[in-house]
Amino acid sequence: MNSDNRFIKFLGGKNLVFVLVLLILIGLMVFIFDKVSFIFNPLLVILSTITPPIILAFVAYYLLNPIVDILEKVKIKRIWGIIIIIIGISGLLVGLVLLIAPAIERQISELFTTFPKYLQQLWIDINDWVQNSFLAPYYDEAYDWVVSNFSNIPGIIGSYVADAFAGVRSLASTVTNFVVVIVTFPIILFFLLKDGDRFKEYSLTLLPPKYRNDVNKILNNMDAQVGSYIQGQIIVASCIAILLYIGYLIIGLDYAITLAILAGVLSVVPYLGPTLSIIPAVIIAMVNSPFMLLKLAVVWIIVQFLEGNFISPNIMGKTMKIHPLTIIIVLLVAGNLFGLLGVILGIPGYAIVKVLVSYIYDQFRNRYNRYYGKEYGAYESEEK
């Protein structure tokens, strides 16, 4: 009986009944929401409108807040430091746009025009190689299989094109949302940089004093995990783009700046991004010449070596200890659930969930030690 009472106390005692009732109420709320979800459509529209600028503002906040803190330490008032940084970055972006935007626009336009020709030429080269190799006896069978299984591809592409033209009707809405993001993003960023700590302190005062220390610890851990990840990934992606651009210029690869920027943007997605970013460069290099493909391989190996052994270890550090298999699973699940946004934000989201799960596990471990530690052995006090 004593053992039973101890187990009930371990689960929470009377609080267990409260938790069960709370879970039942949450389940009823979810059920009711599913039945009358149309009532909340205006709220969903509001959330979908303000979420993009808030996400962008938080990304920029984690990048710029350390700089603002440094300026504050050298006796520059925080508000003036923020104004200096925003004006400086705005001027830098305008200068970069004026300098490289025409070249990027020209390369992107040419790439969209000529890339189908690269693919066609690549197919012709592969076809000629197959017909002149030991695979020639199987070529006709493979060709018939491709025709029989993919003969409807033009129809599928046509349907996608039709859908794309239908989507043009929503262009006005897309432009409106983009304008909202551009206008509201700097305002949100300004107040985050100016009053970010005050927001957190005020939010903590809304909680009962008993829970403030725990919530503050959780928020600090989330801030450290997500902040270091965002800062590190963007710096690493920028380094990769610069190194690839220099390498592409040295070997004379066409569309160097466009391919380098594409690689830098996709490098924000761990593991999958670099693999996807190299595909267009490989196709262009293969059509150009086998020697160009060899030079591209050398450049890519050098950049990956520098990134893996010098850039990432020193910039990313050891703040986020995530197994590569876990990263791949998170990216697949988040991408399947939320699309491109899920792929980009999957790892930061996982970091937040990991902090919460770690906190819950610590509470469970401490509770177990209190009720069962002396009799059966306690959990270790620190994770190893």
* DSSP structure class, residue 37: G
Q: Residue 269 domain-assigned?
A: no
Q: Considering the domain boundaries, does residue 304 fall inside one? A: no
**Which of 286, 242, 269 is CA-nearest to residue 115?**
286
- The answer to whether position 3 is within a domain reads yes
170: amino acid identity, one letter: S
Identify the pLDDT of residue 142.
57
Calculated CA dihedral for residues 71, 81, 190, 219, nearest 10 degrees: 10
Q: Which amino acid is at 223?
A: D
Residue corresponding to tokens 């050298």: 74
Q: How far apart are CA 76 and CA 82, in angstroms?
A: 10
Number of other residues whose CB lies within 10 A of the CB of residue 276: 13
Question: Does residue 21 sit within a domain?
Answer: yes
Q: What is the pLDDT of residue 219?
A: 85
Question: Assign residue 75 a region: left if phi > 0, alpha if psi is -120 to 50, beta otherwise?
Answer: left
219 residue type, one letter: L
Lookup: tokens for 71? 């300026």
Distance from C-alpha of 93 to C-alpha of 99, rounded to nearest angstrom: 10
Among 30, 45, 59, 97, residue whose Cα is nearest residue 341: 59
Residue 201 has which token pair? 């302190």
Interatomic CA distance for residues 312 and 236, integer angstroms: 6
CA distance 143 to 166: 34
In a domain, 13, yes or no: yes
The DSSP secondary structure of 61-72, one letter per residue, reads HHHHHHHHHHHH
Residue at 118 is within a domain: no
| pLDDT of res. 128 | 65
Q: Are 72 and 85 in contact (CB under 8 A)?
A: no
> CB under 8 Å to 365, separation ≥6 — which residues?
379
Residue 248 placed within a domain: no
The reply to whether 31 falls in a domain is yes
Tally of structural domains, the chain: 1
> Which positions of the chain have pLDDT values less than 50?
1, 151, 153-154, 157-158, 160-162, 164-172, 383-384
Nearest to 267 by CA among 221, 333, 224, 315: 315
In terms of residue numbers, what domain contains 6? 1-35
